[in-house]
Amino acid sequence: MLTNRWPFLSHICIVRVFIMDSVQRSIQHQILKRILCLFAIAFLAQQACRPALPDVIPWPTKICVRVQHHNLPIPETTVYVKYHTDTFPGYDKPPSYYDASFRTNSAAFGCIESVPEGHHWLVAIGYDSLYFPHDVRGSMKAVISLQYKPELDTILYVSE
């Protein structure tokens, strides 16, 4: 009579082991889900706490000029900059044609920072009260290279 119960008991044991395995797998699956959720929350919290990236990364370059006419400084001169060109842009272009501009101070000295690498043209237009005609202008080519010449400090001569 015991032998007749053996298949039944073995079936119950096998079913019980299978059920226990599936319960353990379900628990392991839930634990894995929780761990993944914690990692996702930690990643999002880390990303949210980071400072925002800058819109523009500034170049470590600079162009400084002193504007002179007849060896005298010409203060309050506007200097226009045309980036990445090998040809002279001319004096007849409107200010919107140029990529950047700056004004010199009362000592006729001015700078522009964060200039991209390359060949650029500087065009200066000013006013000389000592000589007639009073309007003066001048230009020069400037080459900026991060390796060789990241800063340019020069005299920009203007004439009638």
What are the structural domain ranges in the chain?
A: 1-50, 62-157
Is 154 within 8 Å of 79 (Cβ atoms)?
A: no
Residues 17-63 have pLDDT tens digits of 556 566 677 777 788 888 888 888 888 877 777 777 777 777 788 99
Q: Is the pLDDT of residue 75 over 80?
A: yes
Residues 77, 81, 87, 90, Cα dihedral to 10°: -40
pTM of the model: 0.64
Residue 3: the pLDDT is 54
CATH code given to domain 62-157: 2.60.40.1120
